[in-house]
Amino acid sequence: MARLRDNRTRILVTGGAGFIGSHLIDRLLKRGNEVLCVDNLFTGSKRNIDHLTTHPRFEFMRHDVTSPLYVEVDEIYNLACPASPVHYQHDPVQTTKTSVYGAINILGLAKRLKCKVFQASTSEVYGDPAIHPQPETYWGNVNPIGPRSCYNEAKRCAETLFFDYHRQHGLEIKVARIFNTFGPRMHPADGRVVSNFIVQALRGDPITIFGDGSQTRSFCYVDDVVDGLIRLMDTGPDVIGPFNIGNPQEFSITGLAGMITRMIGSESKIAYRDLPQDDPRRRQPDISLARSLIEWEPTVSLETGLHKTIDYFRDRLLDVAPRMR
């Protein structure tokens, strides 16, 4: 990306064609930045960034972060990695490479450019937590050899690399542990509970619940998450993280299914399936640090966010339904 003649900030977003990444790019462009979106389109989609193709401050580069990247930017957001179990378990070795090699390559780039760099970590670093809610000081309860470990452990390793680059090279880093996020542009076949329930309810198919449905999650609308990431990135060099970014309100999976079917007016019935191995029973962030140090907390209610997400999937249903069969 060629440097501009003015002082506009040039920002690299890896994984920028993904669900959260594309919303982040929208917000960065509205702030007047120039954005280079890098994505290999394994789980990201051109559909998510089609509206930006003619934007004068947007550029797309198809690239896999497991290979070095040579660009000139002022800030980096690293969001590159498949984030849903369906996708990250499809090629677990590549998932680990994306998080670990990707972190090494992005950190090397940031070191050369002497720029601040953000790492999108995950609540999955806590595994199936024995402490509830989960504070950033909790080290987690993670199975290192299970089917989810390609994602959990790779993200934990990426955090290690970020903090070691900070300690060893003085690199300015920012790390956020993102909890369950939902909203428009979710992949309709990503296997996540919100997208699954909405698509199934809209089609009148059975609502698939794994386990007995008593397990809980905390759902944060994507606009709130993006706000948290930007607030963190805007802080000074002494504010590093990790920070939990998520909604501290806890909902059962059964309760979520009931809410979605009522909002849609669906007559879908519940179909129970066996709980996958290592699936966490409870997940809820303690966001005390985010509230105090970056003055962030979510403002969009679950119901408001679901209305927007349902509208999105309703508009897409005719297109996605044949591919969901």
Please state, as a whole number, how many other Cβ atoms lie within 10 Å of the Cβ of residue 277: 9
* Separation between Cα atoms, residue 325 and residue 315, nearest integer Å: 18
* Separation between Cα atoms, residue 246 and residue 248, nearest integer Å: 6
Upper half-sphere CA count for residue 30 (Cβ side, 13 Å): 9
> 67: which residues sit within 8 A by CB, 6+ positions away?
105
Write out the H or E segment, with its range, that includes residue 175. Answer: strand 173-178
* Separation between Cα atoms, residue 272 and residue 97, nearest integer Å: 34
- Beta carbons of 179 and 247 less than 8 angstroms apart: yes
DSSP 134: B
Q: What is the CA radius of gyration of the chain?
A: 19
- Beta carbons of 224 and 247 less than 8 angstroms apart: yes
Write out the H or E segment, with its range, that includes residue 60. Answer: strand 58-62
- Beta carbons of 35 and 77 less than 8 angstroms apart: no
- Beta carbons of 119 and 78 less than 8 angstroms apart: yes
Q: Given 151, 165, 221, 272, which residue is catalytic?
A: 151
312 is catalytic: no
**Alpha helices, DSSP H, located in the chain:** 19-30, 85-88, 92-113, 149-169, 193-203, 222-233, 253-264, 288-293, 302-324
- Residues that are catalytic: 151
